[in-house]
Amino acid sequence: MSDLLQIDFSSVQEPRIVGIDLGTTNSLVAFMDLTGPRIIPGPDGGNLVPSVVSRPASGELVVGNAARDLLTSVPERTAYSVKRLMGRGAADVQEELRLFPFRITSDSDSVIHLELGGKVFTPPELSAFMLRQLKQNAESYLGESVSRAVITVPAYFNDAQRQATRDAGRIAGLEVVRLVNEPTAAALAYGLDKRKQGVVAVYDLGGGTFDISILRLHDGIFEVLATNGDTHLGGDDIDNRLLRIALEDIQSEWGEDVSTSAEAVQLLRRAVIQAKESLSFAPATTLEFEYHGRHYRRELGRDLFDKLIADIVDRTLGPCRTCIRDAGVKVEEIDEVVLVGGSTRIPLVRNAVEALFRARPHTELNPDEVVALGAAIQAGILSGKVDNQLLLDVTPLSLGIETMGGGVTRLIQRNSTIPASATEVFTTAVEGQKNVLIHVLQGERELARDCRSLARFDLKDLEPTPAGMARIEVRFLIDANGILNVTARDMRTGREQGVEVKPSYGLTDEQVEAMIRESLEMAEADFKERQVREAQVEADRIRLAVEKAKQSEAYAALSGEEKQRIEAAAAALANTCHSGDHLAIRAAIEALDRATMSLAGKMMDTAVSAALRGTKI
């Protein structure tokens, strides 16, 4: 008898899920072992993998440290800070163009492309090379295949940027099981679940993005009360500020504009970054730059450094105050403050945060690694390796649909915990309407024209009914990754149409961030205009009903005086509709209602008589 095949079922387990921090400057990958989350080192032993991709003359793509070394020799073939370009259009990145040595092209305003050595790539494709490198590092270190990952994103990334991140993971051969906000991942890394309850602020200032989140902890549950930030603010802005000043100083001293040389700019950028990092620990440093036999040297003290970057640091405090207000808490109620991101090593940043929150922030963990460690813990939660933890994220902007008159009905409010769903029933405004256009919007303003358009789709072949009789059920569902699905259903026939909201490119970060600010600034004016629009819609509905009633037997039975009063009230309403005064429109509506009371009574009597005709008791 042949030997039986022996299978060790104890070795059969779910595929491992790793946690990835896909950063603007550096990226990391981590995993959960028996002792907790651990960073996976690269081939060179370092934990940080520079988020740089290069395509030298050989044509073979290079990633990480090797690519960063090529920034000085072939800068036009080397891409960095690609995270800034994710999910954005060409019009959105005009400010960066003169600082990026690589060429950015676009055949439309929708999708941008980066040209490296004659070959064109999209930002998700370049990010995929980074993810593929992290995937390989994990597989080499763990000795097993890695195909699933949790990837972190800035809390303020919009739909387009989140979708671009998921696309990058798919291109890299990774199943992105969850996108997690970076500050939320940091809360996990700091073990805040050990607290029974409390309120925590997570301040995350990285290379290219800034996030602030206020979290409430209760019995092991992480709930994000509010989030805010700036997807165009970070350590890169400090680097660019110092770089511009140094370029001007060199031109004044040498009489030469070295900014036209991509190689010189990258060499100077490296010197500037080294000086910045030194000033995080020392009171003074020396900025040195050598190019074509000429030497530039400047002493730079922390006092001057603080003055040069003070406005950049101040830009982070506005979103912090807004986030605290949105969370519905007072500064005194915030129990702990956590610092995340390499730029939080700067003393001016730490002092500003401590002054605002009136508490010394946590800095125990390496700020470069804390997000990746949190991603690994979230991966452990999803794979069942970590118990008794629940993570709740929020949607940063309200979601709704356009209604008659150009108004907006919000179904999911800003800062709602996700996953989230909402259902509301609407009706038709036109007699015998067969199609309904569903216009999905994102934003805080009262009118559709002032909000961001996410998608449009038609619910077709409705059963014709009188205006106001149809029942259209609209359902919004946001999954755990922040992806929105919208469905509309005719409740009479069961006919249904839906759409997964795809990212809408071409929206600048400034526009997204301005939505909340504008909604506050324009709240009073928006509300007044919405009142006018709604009153006008109601007036149009009543005028249409009156015109239809004029064809009835009940109207013909009215006296001449009654008809005259109705005509006068209808004419007055028509004239008032364009006044822009909602109170006057409402008053005219009420006047027409009073003028038609007798008509309405006669029409009701006629309808009841018709319904009872032939009926026996």
Same domain, 580 and 489: no
Which tokens in the block code for residue 561?
């005086």
Domain assignment of residue 418, yes or no: yes
Mean pLDDT of residues grouped by 10 in the chain (617 residues)?
A: 37 74 92 90 87 89 90 83 81 66 63 81 91 95 94 80 89 90 83 75 87 79 78 87 94 91 87 94 93 92 95 96 93 93 94 95 90 91 66 70 82 73 77 81 80 79 76 80 78 78 46 57 67 76 78 78 83 79 82 80 63 44
Size (the chain), residues: 617
Q: Would residue 83 show up in a list of annotated catalytic residues for this protein?
A: yes
Q: Which among 542, 531, 600 is positioned nearest to 574, based on CA atoms?
A: 542
With respect to residue 25, please indicate whether it lies within any of the assigned structural domains.
Answer: yes
- Respond yes or no: is residue 605 known to be catalytic: no
Task: Indicate whether 497 and 529 sit together in one domain.
Answer: no
Question: Which of the residues 83, 135, 276, 602 is marked catalytic?
Answer: 83
Give the chain's domain count: 3
Q: Tell me the whole-structure pTM to 2 decimals.
A: 0.59
105 and 189 assigned to the same domain = yes
- 182 in the same domain as 86: yes
The distance in angstroms from the start CA to the end CA of the chain is 91
User: What pLDDT, on the 0 to 100 scale, is given for residue 390?
Assistant: 53
Within a domain: residue 78? yes
600, 565: one domain: yes
In the prediction, which pLDDT does 611 show? 47
**103 and 203 share one domain:** yes
Confidence at residue 239, expressed as pLDDT on a 0 to 100 scale = 93
Give the domain-ending residue among 511, 542, 564.
511
Same domain assignment for residues 325 and 450: no
Task: Mark whether 204 is an active-site residue.
Answer: yes
493/13 Cα distance (integer angstroms): 47
Q: Find the catalytic residue in 92, 182, 230, 336.
A: 182
Residue 115 inside a domain? The answer is: yes
> In terms of domains, do 153 and 219 share one?
yes
Q: Check whether residue 108 and residue 78 sit in a common domain.
A: yes
d(CA 478, CA 501): 10
Residue 270 belongs to some domain of the structure: no
pLDDT value for 13: 54
For residue 31, the model assigns a pLDDT of 95
For residue 105, tell me if it sits in a domain.
yes
Same domain for 197 and 92, yes or no, is yes
Active-site residue, from 21, 159, 368, 450: 21
In a domain, 250, yes or no: no
What amino acid occupies position 439? H
The CATH code of the domain that includes 160 is 3.30.420.40
Measured CA to CA, the distance from residue 417 to residue 397 in angstroms comes to 11
Report the CATH number that the domain containing residue 530 is assigned in CATH: 1.20.1270.10
Preceding amide of 183 cis, omega within 30: no
CATH number, domain of 501, equals 2.60.34.10
pLDDT of residue 246: 94
Q: Which of 92, 167, 204, 529 is catalytic?
A: 204
User: Are 206 and 113 in a shared domain?
Assistant: yes
pLDDT at 538: 77
The two three-digit tokens of residue 71, written as one number: 């920034």
Please tell me the predicted confidence (pLDDT) of residue 142: 93
Range of the domain at 538: 524-612
Residue 95 in any domain: the answer is: yes
Q: Is 182 a catalytic site residue?
A: yes
Same domain, 110 and 33: yes
Buried b (16+ CB within 10 A) or exposed e, 190-213: bebbebeeebbbbbbbbbbbbbbb
Q: Which amino acid is at 451?
A: C
What's the pLDDT at 357?
96
Cβ count within 10 A of residue 464: 11
